[in-house]
A = this chain, B = another copy of it.
């Protein structure tokens, strides 16, 4: 884990503490994984997260991972992106949005500027994204190059 990852996890733990939540192994583990994942695919499903934790020796129940993630989302520390019928989770500490391949689930980040017009259009019809916590943000569903060239 790089120092930047450590810092992000620490910052998140501080926010938990301020919300009156304790610094437990399960929460640190989940935050570690999320911070680590940002380098790669960016987001993880609950079971990916769970397996990664077990592989690292952090023994937690799947239901606990669900509970931890739900709290992180409520506090705005993590955010969700639905991919197919699974929900994926990522750290929400820098403002970004997502482009997802609906076929393989691969995901890329989109900078806030790129989606500003969409957010403005949504606000114009009464849907506001300027709320901490809760699912919010822009998701563009499409297909990645690989899935476009491979099969149909």
Contact = CB atoms under 8 A, between A and B. Distances in A.
A134 B134 CA distance: 26
A18 to B, nearest CB: 16
Contacts of A121: 99, 110-111, 114-115, 140
Interface stretch (A9-17, A27-35, A124-132): A124-132
B110 A122 contact: yes
A22 to B, nearest CB: 22
A128 B108 contact: no
A140 B122 contact: yes
A136 interface: yes
Interface of A: 82, 84-85, 87, 97, 99-103, 108-111, 114-123, 125-131, 134-145, 148
16 contacts: A100-B127, A102-B136, A108-B125, A110-B125, A111-B121, A118-B140, A119-B142, A122-B142, A123-B142, A128-B145, A129-B140, A131-B148, A136-B142, A136-B143, A137-B140, A138-B141
Given A108-B127, A119-B142, 4 more contacts: A127-B143, A131-B148, A136-B141, A138-B140
